[in-house]
Structure 1
């Protein structure tokens, strides 16, 4: 059984076997021309290619920010709508409504507005700080050309300090310390998983970019197929009209 698991284990996730240097997979493709210095790599990260597309690293940052905003919106909306539901029930028990439908409508409107406020309040904050953390960590990693604990600690410290900067110097220092501790724990966990699986962060970024390209390709194919079906139906209808009425010359129409 162990031999079967070992044999079926993908080469890019070598839990039981090391990746062979000649193994080819789609997450390890590299361009022929590589930047030599850290600043060149950073400039390439924030520059667009000949197709006006973002770099692989910047695409990962954008996806992280969007995921953080989505999770923050869901969490904030759920918490605030739940509190609004409890508050409405507790404070409107003696309120006289014309009907049950009116009471339900008032409750639904109140909860919906609370959900929207909570989603906006938490969504932009978590999205902003997730994007800031990912931007700092990715930029430092690209500049160094390697993934280590340094970029996580630095990004967590700066992000934590900015989160509390409006509360004064003491709160800023506390936020920086808390961000440093949390990012250290998270960074050690991420590096441990990468070490265990034998996959680098650059491999993950390229894999996510390949998934994005595959999704866009599927979308383009679906749109082309839809256009072909639509155009084919129009062509058939046009041909049916010609068969019924016959072709006419331009001179006859004029």
Structure 2
């Protein structure tokens, strides 16, 4: 190899001045600092070397089915012992058989240990928020459209000084009419939805069963209350109309619950399982 070519293997830094370095690294322009920096740079990308003699030897021994079953049972027992908060099916069924409808209603309107609302109240709040938001958007758009048509009809013979003035007055009228219509309808739909959701959820929680009946009752009672200012006849007609609407809507909602496995029984089962786990964790922490 010519003397002007430098070998690219890096020697230890403490041997840069040895005579052997000049034999294997015949690079006259290379300095100890060059090898030191290059050695540090390459050391960042070095991977550990593992020799075949260092690998553990795996011995494949035949395992009988009895030994495998025993090992699986021991592993499961260890997991159960480690996880003290594991709730069995028997404990859940015992709790469900011992509770009453009043207990379920009380738990529905009571916050948990972390200060959060019950899943039923959370569902009611989220549903009201979505219903009111959609109602405001739809009714404000319709009200603004009708307001613009009303403004154009009432001011056909009005002479405005400029086109900008006419456009500005029309836009103001559209915005005000839309906001007014949106707030009025959101208020009405919000009251109806609140009474309907609270009644239907309370009946389902008390019975611990999902059906069409709670929606029919809730809609009938809500319709009667909203028509109370019209007297007994108005309340009766409102109750009948509300019950028919509840029958149609309740059938759709109940069918959707069955398809998604989100009935009251299933949701209450999951909530009780979580409730018992939290109670066991609290008792374990207190001990």
TM-score > 0.5 by shorter chain: yes
> Could you tell me how far apart the structure 2 residues matched to 1:205 and 1:92 are?
60
**Pick aligned residue for 1:59 from 109, 122, 131:** 122
Structure 2 residue 191 is the aligned partner of structure 1 residue 191: no
Instruction: Give the alignment's Cα RMSD to 1 decimal.
Output: 2.5
Structure 2 residue 135 is the aligned partner of structure 1 residue 93: no
Structure 2 residue 78 is the aligned partner of structure 1 residue 37: no
Q: CA deviation at 1:190?
A: 1.9
**Pick aligned residue for 2:170 from 107, 115, 120:** 107
Q: CA deviation at 1:154?
A: 0.9
| 1:35-184 superposed matches below 5 A | 36-184=99-247
Describe the SS at the equivalent of 1:51: coil
Counterpart of 2:30 in structure 1 is: none
Higher relative contact order (CA 8 A, sep 6+): 1
Contact 1:69 1:125 in 2 (8 A): no
Describe the SS at the equivalent of 2:158: coil
What TM-score does the superposition give when structure 2 sets the normalisation length? Answer: 0.57
Q: CA deviation at 1:194?
A: 2.7
Structure 2, unmatched stretches of 5+, are 1-88, 271-287
Q: CA deviation at 1:205?
A: 9.4
> Could you tell me how far apart the structure 1 residues matched to 2:134 and 2:269 are?
23
Counterpart of 2:22 in structure 1 is: none
> Could you tell me how far apart the structure 2 residues matched to 1:76 and 1:167 are?
25
Q: CA deviation at 1:186?
A: 1.3
> Could you tell me how far apart the structure 2 residues matched to 1:202 and 1:100 are?
64
Q: CA deviation at 1:127?
A: 1.2
Q: CA deviation at 1:71?
A: 2.2
Structure 1, unmatched stretches of 5+, are 1-29, 208-254
Q: How many residues align?
A: 178
Contact 2:140 2:182 in 1 (8 A): yes
Q: CA deviation at 1:198?
A: 3.8
Contact 1:156 1:183 in 2 (8 A): yes
> Could you tell me how far apart the structure 2 residues matched to 1:177 and 1:167 are?
14
Give runs of ≥4 in structure 1 deviating > 3 Å. 30-35, 196-199, 201-207
Q: Deviations over 1:29-62 (max 9, x none)?
A: x996667111111011111112221110001111
